[in-house]
Structure 1
Amino acid sequence: MLVAESGADLEGHGLRRTMGLFQLVCFGVGAIVGTGIFVGLSDSVAEAGPAVVVSFLLAAATCVVTAFAFAELGSAIPVSGSSYSFAYATLGEPVAFLVGWCLLLEYGVSVSAVAVGWGQYLSALLDSVTGLTLPRALAAPPGDGGVVNVPAVVVIGLAAVLLVRGVRESARATAVMAVVKIAVLVLFCAIAFTAFEAGNLTPFAATGVAGITSGASIAFFSYIGFDAVTTAGEEVRDPRRNIPLAVLICIGVVTVLYCLVALAAVGALSAGEVADQPAALSLIVDEVTDSSFGGGVIAFGAVVAIASVVLAVLYGQTRVLMSMSRDGLVPRVFERVSPRTAVPVAGTWIVAAVFAVPAAVVPLDVVLNLTTIGTLAVMGVVNFAVIVLRRRHPDLAADFRTPLFPFVPALGVLLCLYLMWGTGSGTWARFAVFLAAGALVYALYGRRHSRLGADGGVTRRGAPGG
């Protein structure tokens, strides 16, 4: 028996299948391209130097092999919840809860990280248009001259407003924003390559393999969000076909774009000039054109890009919590869907309010590293889940199959562990505390309220088999 493809919540108001392939691809690109490339590029350059291109390729390789796993699981298990639902169907409830707990980092905490970068580019945009800049205390992340990041809270609030209006409206807005930010990054490449100097690429790997690995761990944040496509499993038309296609298309487009942007950036200015610069892409264009107009255009693209990522990952977090709520692992308020808009309104506002707090007051580097290690852990589990699913249910229907099985998913697990190692011991310690807290929450709340036991061992999604 296949995994149950239930789209209705227990109140009787289900999600609606309104998204096609183009909208899903735009949603995926919207979830990926944002703070990581517009803000985090300079941090990757600081670690890897000109070899940052290799760092982006290493991060991309991890995402590509994992994308195959997501594509197969999204085809076989087309329900909301993404990695959480995949883990539940293959590895059981305790592991699934910890995966869902880690997804709080990928979707929830990353909303905070993404929103933090919005204020920097908003300030750059205002400077180029009006000559005014936002006070650093109110627009920069704590630890970088900021006290309370007000723009970060504002952009999360705006995304929540749009989401509660309905998925169709959100998808249209995301599609427009995805086209805008791709156009802006292409424009950046066109401008930066006019000032390309091969001498800026030497020495190419001065920091060695360790620098490239550390740079890849930071660059990985730029790819976070592609799996958000699989959270829309119950709101996509023909999900068994469209989800795998959308995942692979998104990764392909973004990888090519990122490598071109990274190469253009370190070719136009030296790695030392790019490293640790806020709003680095705007700075590069200003230097190349000797004008603030071009940088203003890039800043506008970044403002749009980061806003669309906030929108997409906030959406993903609410759908993960909806799936967990259906299974009794988090309070039922997260599974309640508005009969008018067919979206979880209360859950959306709760998520927005909770994660606006770290966006306002937590230093960016702490948020980035914790998000990265949590996401890599989830992706490692997803690769392992494909192996388990194939071994236990080799005849399970799926429109996409991971190639070179089991080599590719095993490589995915190893690459995830390798990049996790590159995040540093401090991040590992914080992550261990986070996992311990998750295990405690499951023991005290999740296990007691689980519908697995209440249903006599049969879950809402139902593990494949039989």
Structure 2
Amino acid sequence: MVGGMIGSGIFVLPAQLAPYGWTSIVAWIVGVSGAMLIAWVLARLTAAMPEATGVVAMCGAGLGPLCGVLVGWSYWIGIWSANAVIALTAVRYLAQFVPMIGATALAQAVSATVLIWLLTVLNLGGARLAGAFQVGTTVIKLVPLGAIVLILAGIAWRGGVGHSAGPYADFALGGLTPALTFAFYAIVGFEAASVAAERVRDPARNVVRAMLFGLALTGVLYLIVCTGIIFALPSAAVANAQAPFALFVSTFWGPWAGLATAGFAAIAAIGALNGWTLVQGEVPLGMARAGLLPRWIGATSTRDVPVAILLVSSTLASLLVLSNATRSLGGLLDFMLRLTAAATIWLYVGACLTALILRIAPVAAALGLAFAAWAMWGAGIEAICLSVGLMLTAIPLYLLRYRAALSEDAPD
């Protein structure tokens, strides 16, 4: 659970949150608190519907099959758009070794696209090959976080003597909403235990533990690491950094340590991309096998790889990256972070609405729904509209499955 949440988003978020200064701390606290509310709702839903295969099935049971498909489809959109963000993160840290791949937004976009397809080819070889690669990168992502914590502990031990940075932006209520959306993006993934509830032993108890414990631990770690970087360095330097973790470590431990951190962060991001590339076919595959989408979406190779949906997912992630290559370096990542947050939040909206309709944890569901709407608004109109447009593409596919079913049942 914690491993799924500790991904690559934290490696770039200090740069996105640095302009918000003290507001970013409040955003983390509010974001984790809101996520805890939603996690509690998901846990109660899982306990109330132990026969459900996951949160998508729960939404289908409470809101109807079409709404369940829309929620699941939007979650899938969130996964492949997150892959675009992860690929860009990896490229930004790899650029510390090969500067030309990160020199411009176009160079970053092309390099990220190449990386997406390298990992797609790896996953087409089957889960065993991709899994072997994943094992080697899982622990590595903790190394940069550990380095940051050690440096911050040293600064705190000295009482800040010999260290000064700033100034920092004061708390501003107007900046809380966008900062909240960025912070919330980093902790997306806490729903993993309920998305695959059928594979969890005693989900009524273990899903609650996994989500709440994972959220609390990850939230505290991210609050310390992200705000530590922002407040230990000049905010302008952090905001303009392509690789803020490497900048931070090199400032205190020297350039070689910074390069080592960049290497670990790049490997961690590539590992996260590999894992989510494997996962991005699972949600549509599950809906196709449940008869909610056309059967061809669930077609698999001899190695049980959903080839068609895997290729479609990586193509869409590539198009997302390349279509935004005309933006600035900061704008390229900024928009995709917001789109990923908007697309994923629809899952939480669906879960809270389901809980309200079924009268399961209604108070937490109402508060969670309000929080989800708030975080969604922070993504901005452009990202929200695009997430809705992409989500609605599931409707014709949902209707096509009726046509296919009628054709199969028709007499020869």
Instruction: Tell me which interval the TM-score lies in, with the shorter structure as reference length.
Output: 0.7 to 0.9
Shift of the 281–316 alpha-carbon distance from structure 1 to 2, 3 Å rule, reads same
Q: 1:79 to 1:350 in 2, by over 3 A?
A: farther
Gaps of 5+ in 1: 1-24, 127-132, 392-404, 455-466
Conservation of the 8 A alpha-carbon contact between 1:105 and 1:370: no
The number of equivalent residue pairs is: 395
2:119 to 159, 172, 191: 159
> TM-score if structure 2 supplies the norm length?
0.83
Matched, 1:62 2:31: no
1:21 matched residue in structure 2:
none
CA-to-partner distance for each residue in 1:252-306, whole Å, 9 max, x for gaps? 22112101102321232132331232101110111122x2122122212211222
Partner of 1:408: 364
In structure 1, the partner of 2:280 is 317
User: What is the aligned partner in structure 2 of residue 302 from structure 1?
Assistant: 265
Shift of the 317–42 alpha-carbon distance from structure 1 to 2, 3 Å rule, reads: same
Write 1 or 2 for the structure with the bigger share of helix.
2
Cα deviation code 1:104-163 (max 9, x no counterpart) = 331121111221121010122x2xxxxxx2414xx46xxx54246343234323433454
SS in 2 for 1:70: helix
Preserved CA contact (<8 Å) 1:38 1:302: yes
The residue aligned with 1:261 is 225
- TM-score (normalizing by structure 1): 0.74
Residue segments in structure 2 that go unaligned for 5+ positions in a row: 325-331, 407-412
Q: Does 1:293 align with 2:253?
A: no
Of 352, 358, 362 in structure 1, the residue corresponding to residue 314 of structure 2 is 352
| Cα 1:40/1:450, change in 2 over 3 Å | farther
Decide whether the 8 Å contact of 1:108 with 1:317 is kept in 2: yes
Residue in 1 aligned with 2:149?
189
- Aligned with 1:219: secondary structure? helix
Q: In the alignment, what sits opposite 2:188?
A: 224
Partner Cα distance (2:6, 2:65) in 1: 32
Q: Does 1:112 align with 2:84?
A: yes
Residue in 1 that maps onto 2:409: none
Which residue is equivalent to 1:102?
Answer: 74
Q: Which residue in the other structure is 1:6 paired with?
A: none
Matches of 1:193 and 1:360, distance apart in 2 = 40
User: Displacement, 1:348?
Assistant: 2.5
Whole-angstrom distance in 1 between the partners of 2:126 and 2:227: 39
What is the Cα-based RMSD across aligned positions, in Å? 3.2
Task: Tell me the residue number matched to 2:100.
Answer: 135
Q: Following superposition of structure 1 onto structure 2, how do residues 229-268 of structure 1 map, counting pairs within 5 Å?
A: 229-233=193-197, 242-268=206-232
Q: 1:212 aligns with which of 166, 171, 176?
A: 176
Residue 96 of structure 1 aligns to a residue whose secondary structure is helix
Quote the sequence identity (%): 25
Hey, what's the Cα distance between the residues in 2 that align with 1:191 and 1:376? Answer: 34
Shift of 1:203: 6.7
Structure 2 counterpart of 1:388, from 337, 341, 357: 357
Whether the 8 Å CA contact 2:167–2:234 is kept in 1: the answer is no
CA distance in 1, matches of 2:32, 2:87: 23
Secondary structure at 2:354 match in 1: helix
C-alpha change, 1:352 and 1:426, in structure 2 (3 Å) is closer
Conserved? CA contact 1:115–1:152, under 8 Å: yes
Corresponding residue of 1:43: 16
Give the aligned partner of residue 372 of structure 1: 341
Q: Relative to 1, partners in 2 of residues 1:158 and 1:89: Cα closer, same or farther, differing over 3 Å?
A: farther
Report the CA distance shift for 1:307/1:214 in structure 2 as closer, same or farther (over 3 A): same
Shift of residue 207, structure 1, vs aligned partner = 4.6
Aligned residue for 2:5?
32
Q: 1:335 to 1:426 in 2, by over 3 A?
A: closer
Kept in 2, the 8 Å contact 1:181–1:302? The answer is yes
3-state secondary structure, aligned to 2:95: helix
The structural deviation recorded for 1:195 is 3.9
Question: In structure 1, how many angstroms separate the alpha carbons of the residues matched to 2:113 and 2:72?
Answer: 24
Give the 3 Å change call, closer, same or farther, for CA 381–445 of structure 1 in structure 2: closer
Whether the aligned pair in 2 keeps the contact of 1:50 and 1:202 (CA below 8 Å) is: no
Other structure's SS at 1:206 match? coil
Q: Matches of 2:293 and 2:252 in 1, distance apart?
A: 52
User: Per the alignment, in what secondary structure is the counterpart of residue 379 of structure 2?
Assistant: coil
Q: In the alignment, is the contact (CA less than 8 A) between 1:115 and 1:359 conserved in 2?
A: no
Task: Judge conservation of contact 1:56–1:216 (CA < 8 Å) in 2.
Answer: yes
CA distance in 1 between counterparts of 2:99 and 2:45 reads 45
Q: Which amino acid aligns with 1:409?
A: A
1:52 aligned onto 2:16: no
Query: Deviation per CA, 1:168-199, whole angstroms, max 9, x where unpaired?
Result: 66556545533221232022121244346499
CA distance in 1, matches of 2:373, 2:306: 34
Q: CA deviation at 1:251?
A: 1.7
Counterpart position of 2:398? 446
One-letter amino acid of the counterpart of residue 68, structure 1? W
CA contact (8 A) 1:36 1:219 kept: no
Q: State how far apart, in whole Å, the 2-side matches of 1:61 and 1:367 are.
A: 24
Quick one: distance in 2 between partners of 1:332 and 1:390?
A: 34
In structure 2, do the counterparts of structure 1 residues 171 and 37 end up closer, same or farther at CA, with 3 Å as the change threshold? Answer: same
Q: Which amino acid aligns with 1:414?
A: A
Q: 2:73–2:394: 8 Å Cα contact kept in structure 1?
A: no
Partner Cα distance (1:412, 1:278) in 2: 33
CA distance in 2, matches of 1:436, 1:293: 46
1:440, distance to aligned residue in structure 2 (A)? 6.0
Between 371-380 and 203-212, the greater mean CA deviation after superposition: 203-212
What amino acid does structure 2 have at the position aligned with 1:377? W
